[in-house]
Amino acid sequence: MVSLPNNHFDAIIIGGGIAGTSVAYSLSKRKIKTLLLERKEDLALEASGNPTGLVYPQLTKHPSTEGNFSLHAFRHMLRELQVLCDDVKVLDRTQISHGVFIIPKGQAEKDRYLGSIQAYNLDSEEMEMRSDSYSGREGFLFKKAFAISPRSLAQAYAQMAKPFTEFQFYQNFRKVEFQKEIHVSTETDAYTAKLLFLCHANSFLDFPETNWIPIRKVRGQLLWLPISEELSSLPHSYLFGNYLTKDIGHGSVLGASFDEYKMDESAREAESLSFISEAINALPPLQNFFNRIKENGISKLKTRVSFRSQSKDRRPIFGKLPDFVLYENNLPAKPSANFRQSPDVPYFENAFLLGALGSRGLTHALLASEEIVRDALGEKQLMNPLEYSEFNPERFLLRNWKRGKQ
């Protein structure tokens, strides 16, 4: 695409978390002049700002759309990680810890992971059932899953995108107008672009173009544990309902809670104590360490509360942005029981969104961003069309129509 002057860009991205920086990285591979607008003072300070996150796929007992996509995204992420660490060296492998051991909470979860090994043809280099000598528990080792700093990952994507991407901060998105080109207004500036990517899902409900999408905020709390000899001896990260990450240079993370209803920003001591109790139960060698933590006072620990977005069906949302008003104005009558043809969904031209990544944002964002960029540019996609459509935002419109909920 040709270079454009001043406030004119080939593409504009709203949101500088893991979703927005993933899109910037994908666009930069095509040398597309891009503007990324972020309302905070830096990248990845909100839900993407946790000190350590785990990257692993969400697998199901039987083959499913969610499981196939998640495993595809995870393997895509591993290939990109090799590029970022070994080829261009914008990430340091010493700050990445591979290996996540899953301690099932019960027989149903154990059966799910046993089933997933067969359902997705996982070999022992990806996942295997085994005993863990550290915890003394039986579970599943996901050897290639890894712990990483989400901010470091977002910054690595941004660094890769910088030759073709301008980053502007303290920019509060206010309005978008769809004319021959897309006009984007913030509190202080106005821009035009050929393509628009909306990647800040927590603000989707604030704007008429996206407030129909069934997204909710989810509150999460975690503990940032200090660097210690006991935690440095962990052989890998652990999942046991909650999770404990291996120290990658700044202490371990223990968490995380999940609250869809109460959105208070202050830390809850009861949740922190619950994290510790579950960790002691799952990992007995750390009992003395956590007892000392409690004796010294939970309030002295760093606690982080953040808010991520989640869709109604808990799948990520990515694809073309439907024109909801035009869709409603031309919506056919409620279908009869034997009616099979879905109504056509109109779209805003050259507008796409990526959001509601939930707890697997680090795993899913890069593949999802690649898919919407390929869609925007008319390139062949990595996912098959039917699978891709399962994650498009129009799915909510069509489901409601089929249920007679216009």
CATH (domain of 349): 3.50.50.60
Which of 308, 338, 353 marks a domain boundary?
Answer: 308
Say if residue 145 is preceded by a cis peptide, omega within 30 of 0: no
Residues 200 and 329 in one domain: yes
| Within a domain: 374 | yes
Residues in the chain: 406
Instruction: Identify the CATH number of the domain in which residue 293 sits.
Output: 3.30.9.10
| Within a domain: 263 | yes
| Within a domain: 204 | yes
pLDDT < 70: residue spans in the chain: 1-5, 333-340, 405-406
Residues 33 and 116 in one domain: no
Cα–Cα distance between 114 and 130 in angstroms, integer?
11
Residues 267 and 345 in one domain: no
Q: 66: alpha, beta or left, given left = phi > 0 and alpha = psi -120 to 50?
A: alpha
Residues 268 and 374 in one domain: no
Per-residue confidence (pLDDT) for residue 1, from 0 to 100: 40
Answer yes or no: are the C-beta atoms of 348 and 193 closer than 8 Å: no
Residues 181 and 259 in one domain: no
Domain range holding 262? 96-145+217-308
Residues 225 and 298 in one domain: yes
* Angle between helices 361-377 and 65-82 in degrees, nearest 10: 90
| Within a domain: 186 | yes
Q: Where are the beta strands (DSSP E) in 56-211?
A: 97-102, 127-132, 137-148, 165-168, 173-178, 182-186, 190-198
Residues 169 and 135 in one domain: no
Which of 308, 329, 350 marks a domain boundary?
Answer: 308
Q: What is the pLDDT of residues 38-70, one digit of tens each?
A: 999 999 998 888 999 999 999 999 999 999 999
Cα–Cα distance between 10 and 383 in angstroms, integer?
25
CB contact burial 367-392 (16+ within 10 A = b; e otherwise)? bbbbbbbbbbeeeeeebeeeebeebb
287 φ, ψ to 5°? -60, -45
82 token code pair: 């090799």
Closest CA to 317 of 392, 376, 373, 370: 392
Which of 265, 285, 308 marks a domain boundary?
Answer: 308
Residues 205 and 341 in one domain: yes
State the Cα angle at 66 between 237 and 362, rounded to 5°: 40
| Within a domain: 89 | no
Per-residue confidence (pLDDT) for residue 47, from 0 to 100: 82
Residues 155 and 104 in one domain: no
Residues 177 and 246 in one domain: no
| Within a domain: 84 | no
User: Roughly how many angstroms between the first and final C-alpha of the chain, as a whole number?
Assistant: 40
Residues 209 and 159 in one domain: yes
Cα 308 to its chain centre, rounded Å, is: 9
| Within a domain: 368 | yes
| Within a domain: 62 | no
Per-residue confidence (pLDDT) for residue 2, from 0 to 100: 39
Per-residue confidence (pLDDT) for residue 395, from 0 to 100: 96
Domain count, the chain: 2
Answer yes or no: are the C-beta atoms of 214 and 310 closer than 8 Å: no
Residues 259 and 129 in one domain: yes
pTM of the model: 0.95
* Angle between helices 18-28 and 150-161 in degrees, nearest 10: 30
